Chains A and B, each alone.
Chain A
Amino acid sequence: MNTGQYISGAAHGGLILWALLGGIFVRPNDIAMPSQEVSLISGAEFAALTAPREAPEVTTTPPAPQPPASDPTPQTPTPDAPAPTPVPVPEPTPAPEAETVPAVPQALPTPVDPAIPESPAEPSFEEQGANAPAIPNREPTPRPVNRVAPEAVINPEPTPEIADTAQAEVAPDAQAPVETVKPEQAAAAPEEATTEIVTEAETPNGMASSPRPQSRPPSIARAAQAAKEAAEAAAQAAATPDEPAPQTPATPAPATPAPAAEPDSVADDVFAAIAAAQGETAAAPTTRTGPPMTSGERDALRVAVAQCWNVGAMSSEAMRTVITVEVKMSQDGKPDAGSIRLIGQQGGDNAAAQAGFEVARRAIIRCGANGFNLPVEKYDQWRTIEMTFDPEQMRYK
């Protein structure tokens, strides 16, 4: 009588158990809980990480790593020992340095490892950096000044008189000998300029200029050099009493591969092909009466005109108009003002084109007043010049 109920109960119980345990409520492809391995650090370590960097401790206590001079172990000379052991951070560092390397700056970053030899390639980079024109980069962001130009100019002082080239102030000096009196002149500098319009609302998006990054900060490089020399000195000092001098630090391996020394066969082929083709073109008779303008020469002309192309007072309609202007040049590189004419326009009405043309004409005449720097032997190439003035990029500087 109860059999049916037992069977039913067992069956239902089984069903429920299966539902609970059998996994039908578990989503088949359960999302794997993402986990991230972390490493735990103690509060002290964290404090050490976040603490402001201490001034470098050059002074007193030498770090635990055994200075080779005082260590009795060097009797077993292992010249091929890894670099760290012979690294001498000798306690009398300041003293010998004072005589040998007087140029070492006081605040040396301590952890300079003299065992890392400077690769021979690096000095060349540094020389590049040194030879690069000193770009004034006092401020990280442009300031709102009156002039917007492709090259930013940041004047350090209360604006001196505006001139084309910088010149130093020469003031009459009472102490100076009378013979060397220079004519009095006011300080002058190129007018301060920024590369974009700086409005109140906009965070300027860049640095005033972008100098090439140096391969290695010069102070660190100098410090490394000084430390290396100190290490050599110490090593020699250590070597004189003890015969097995650890030579490791003194020999920076110059075995770095010469960059691009081995000619690439691909590049070779291309160069050969270009040379061959150029030979052909040179030989082929053309209508040209002189060598073509190089891109550098064209760029120089472009920049020379752009310097005087002041779009600041142009109507916004004219700023949407691209115009083409023809100008005839005399052989000394000066534009013939009377020959400047508008030969094409695009995008605006005639009034806008005329306004743009007047601005362009002013630019050509002003910057051409002393003659553009153009190669005389290529006069045939630039007897007539067509200049296209496109203000598009200047609209939202």
Chain B
Amino acid sequence: MTLFSAASRLTSGLLLGLSLAVLGHAPAALAQEANGPLRITIDQGVIEPVPLAIPDFIAETPQAAEMARMISEVVASDLVGTGLFREIPPSAFVSQITNFASPVQYSDWKAINAQGLVTGAVTQDASGRLNVKFRVFDVFSDAPLGEGLQFGGSTTSWRRIAHKVADVVYSRITGEGAYFDSRVVFVAESGPKDARLKRLAVMDYDGENVQYLTGDQSIVLAPRFSPSGDRVLYTSYETGFPQIMLLDVATVSRTPLAVPAESMTFAPRFSPDGTTVVFSLTQGGNTDIYSMPVMGGGMTRLTNTPSIETAPSFSPDGSRIVFESDRSGSQQLYIMPANGGEATRISFGDGRYGTPVWSPRGDLVAFTKQANGRFHIGVMRTDGSEERLLTASFLDEGPTWSPNGRVIMFTREGAGAGGEAALYSVDISGRNLRRVTTQGAASDPAWSPLLQ
């Protein structure tokens, strides 16, 4: 009892001293605070689509009316499709844009809470040449976002023009590059699962303008765009044996990569400068990673282990290669210098990791993960930290990055004989998972860089 009271007295004395000490400093701190401005720190915000008003572009020549409407529709669908923006329905508009040149009444757009406003005008001359000019406004700052711009082209390329407009709007508002004016090469599939016909096809990122690059006589796999977007590497079974082919998109002519006979080659990918190809080669039952110049020449062996190494992918600066290997006993991701050498393991979670792809920004690696009977598409930093799974389904695989490193497209396949493969895209935050519209089944997408 006495001990307790002594302790309690001691505590109270200590507390008293402490509080006096603290308060002794308090006046100084308060005075300092009073002299400076009020300082607050905001670390909680909201994440929601930014409301945009995209009134129909104005047709400045009579025959451009249809084009103006279609172009503004594509611009809106590009922007809304990112999940970052929401389009305010035109029925809510307080004022209409009737003249591209006249000043914008910001208050009318603030009233409907539009944070961005896109106005445009389209002219079409007798020869069928289109000209689109447009402006982006930051409504709440009462100011335009950047200068007005214009794009010209033929009426047949109107979708590309619209994508370019959307690219500019996107990058002005978000402050980072966009990806609308880009294409995707993929494997178009038809027929039942046990007799599936596959051929290479290329389409706009949104599924429009599909062109077929190969016939459906032989199985094709894993197409990859070159960094300039003019050539495609893929694996073909034309000879009955997997063999890497190089295809020129413009002429649709293809040439096999010169590799030793009696070896299987697959999983090719361009280096960032487009001059080198890395790929897997199986010889004598062992699979390793090799590189060789695109134009032909000697192969360089980059890995030399008895385990399986495959799916190499360059870092954007071309100095390193991420790949998958089962050297530890299970399939994991490793990074090694571009000319071979010691590999560092980066994936350490449960399950098996495969098909790593280095982001064009260089900060992340996308991968396929198989764990607990499900497939995931995920991203991690290049040191293996901050792993984040974005999807989960019966079968997700083969991620590919959008040119700006913000969106991942991949293959999703359903279970059973009826489950057909389809292309999906997802934001790297895990939001906005959506199916890419394709005619029929599709798999193995590879995103091109932004077109020039």
Contacts and interface: CB of A to CB of B under 8 A. Distances in A.
A284 to B, nearest CB: 6
A206 interface: no
Interface in A138-170: 144, 146-150
Chain A CB count within 10 A is highest, among B24, B36, B173, B378, for: B173
A313 B85 contact: yes
A312 interface: yes
B19 A197 contact: no
B41 interface: yes
A314 B175 contact: yes
B49 A312 contact: yes
A287 B34 contact: yes
B91 interface: no
A281 B142 CA distance: 46
B42 interface: yes
A235 interface: no
Chain A CB count within 10 A is highest, among B20, B39, B433, for: B39
A362 B140 contact: yes
B390 A199 contact: yes
Contacts of A104: none
A391 B85 contact: no
A215 interface: no
Contacts of B227: none
Contacts of A281: 23, 26-27, 30
Interface string A196-207: 011111100000
Contacts of A313: 49-50, 84-85, 173-174
B431 A310 contact: no
Given A197-B430, A200-B391, A381-B34, A270 B41 contact: no
Interface string A268-306: 011001100110110010111100110000100111011
B11 interface: yes
A393 B42 contact: no
B48 interface: yes
Given A201-B376, A277-B23, A302-B40, A312 B47 contact: yes
Interface in B376-416: 376, 378, 386, 388-393, 405-406
B16 A386 contact: no
A351 interface: yes
B35 interface: yes
A149 B44 CA distance: 8
B127 interface: no
B27 A149 contact: no
A315 B41 contact: no
A265 interface: yes
Contacts of B430: 197-202
Contacts of B147: none
A221 interface: no
A309 B12 CA distance: 45
A269 B47 contact: no
Chain A CB count within 10 A is highest, among B15, B30, B45, for: B45
B172 to A, nearest CB: 9
A352 B176 CA distance: 8
A224 interface: no
Contacts of A278: 23
A127 to B, nearest CB: 31
B49 A200 contact: no
Contacts of A352: 175
B141 A388 contact: no
A197 B428 CA distance: 11
Contacts of A231: none
B6 interface: no
A358 B173 CA distance: 9
A372 B20 CA distance: 36
Interface in B1-28: 8, 11-12, 15-16, 19-20, 23-24, 26-27
A265 B11 CA distance: 11
A358 B144 CA distance: 12
B283 interface: no
A361 interface: yes
Given A201-B378, A362-B141, A316 B176 contact: yes
B45 A310 contact: yes
Nearest to A380: B34
A318 B256 CA distance: 44
Contact of A277 (B12, B24, B31): B24
A389 B42 contact: yes
Contacts of B8: 265-266
Given A273-B23, A277-B24, A351-B175, A390 B42 contact: yes
Chain B CB count within 10 A is highest, among A150, A358, A366, for: A358
B43 interface: yes
A355 B177 CA distance: 12
A159 B174 CA distance: 28
A358 B138 contact: yes
B45 A311 contact: yes
A270 B12 CA distance: 8
B50 A201 contact: no
B3 to A, nearest CB: 16
Interface string B346-390: 000000000000000101000000000000101000000010111
A191 interface: yes
B184 to A, nearest CB: 21
A336 interface: no
A261 B168 CA distance: 68
A307 interface: yes
Contacts of B389: 199, 201-202
A355 B141 contact: no
B103 interface: no
B140 A365 contact: yes
Contacts of B428: 316
A314 B174 contact: yes
A227 interface: no
Interface string A84-104: 000000000000000000000
Contacts of B208: none
A236 interface: no
A308 B115 CA distance: 11
Contacts of B31: 286-288
Chain A CB count within 10 A is highest, among B38, B43, B426, B429, for: B38
Contacts of B297: none
A309 B46 CA distance: 6
B37 A148 contact: no
Given A191-B48, A199-B389, A355-B174, A288 B30 contact: yes
Contacts of B176: 315-318, 355
A286 B429 contact: no
A310 B47 CA distance: 5
Interface pairs A-B: 6 shortest CB-CB: A355-B175, A199-B430, A315-B176, A201-B389, A309-B45, A277-B23
10 contacts: A199-B390, A201-B390, A201-B392, A281-B23, A306-B42, A310-B47, A310-B50, A313-B50, A316-B363, A316-B428
Given A309-B42, A358-B175, 16 more contacts: A147-B46, A147-B47, A197-B47, A197-B431, A201-B391, A298-B40, A307-B46, A313-B174, A315-B176, A317-B176, A358-B145, A362-B140, A363-B45, A366-B113, A386-B38, A389-B45
